[in-house]
């Protein structure tokens, strides 16, 4: 996996890539036709680069991978799920600023367990 890049995950690899991953993971649930998703994408890329080896940043296309989206109750996109120790610790729906996303990362993913 290239460091500092957003990794595409699918239903098939979600458990291994996200839930069983040893480090915090952000999953961007998106779709090709979703304009707000396209607006959020550059911010997600910047987060992936800034938190390079501390966090795994992934994208999951909800049209191609409906099982995972359904499992986590994704009803609107873009949705970001924040995983720590294999559990969802925070969820945000819609386009947010980089500062808002970083605040959630710092408060939820790096706070003492």
Single out the catalytic residue among 6, 9, 37, 105: 37
Read off the DSSP letter of residue 6. Answer: P
Single out the catalytic residue among 34, 44, 55, 69: 34
Question: In whole angstroms, how far apart are CA 36 and each of 73, 75, 81, 82, 102?
Answer: 19, 14, 16, 19, 19
Return the ∠ at Cα 63 (arms to 61 and 69), rounded to 5°.
Answer: 70
37 given a catalytic annotation: yes
Among all residues, which ones are annotated catalytic?
Answer: 34, 37
């Amino acid at each position: 996996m290239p460091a500092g890049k957003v990794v595409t995950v699918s239903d098939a690899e979600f458990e291994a890539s996200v839930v069983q991953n040893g480090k915090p993971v952000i999953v961007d649930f998106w779709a090709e036709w979703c304009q707000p998703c396209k607006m959020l994408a550059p911010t997600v890329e910047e987060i992936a680069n800034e938190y390079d080896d501390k966090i795994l940043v992934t994208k999951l296309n909800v049209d191609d991978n409906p099982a995972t989206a359904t499992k986590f109750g994704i009803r609107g996109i873009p949705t970001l799920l924040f995983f720590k120790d294999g559990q969802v610790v925070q969820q945000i729906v819609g386009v947010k600023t980089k500062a808002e996303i970083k605040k959630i990362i710092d408060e939820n993913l790096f706070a003492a367990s």
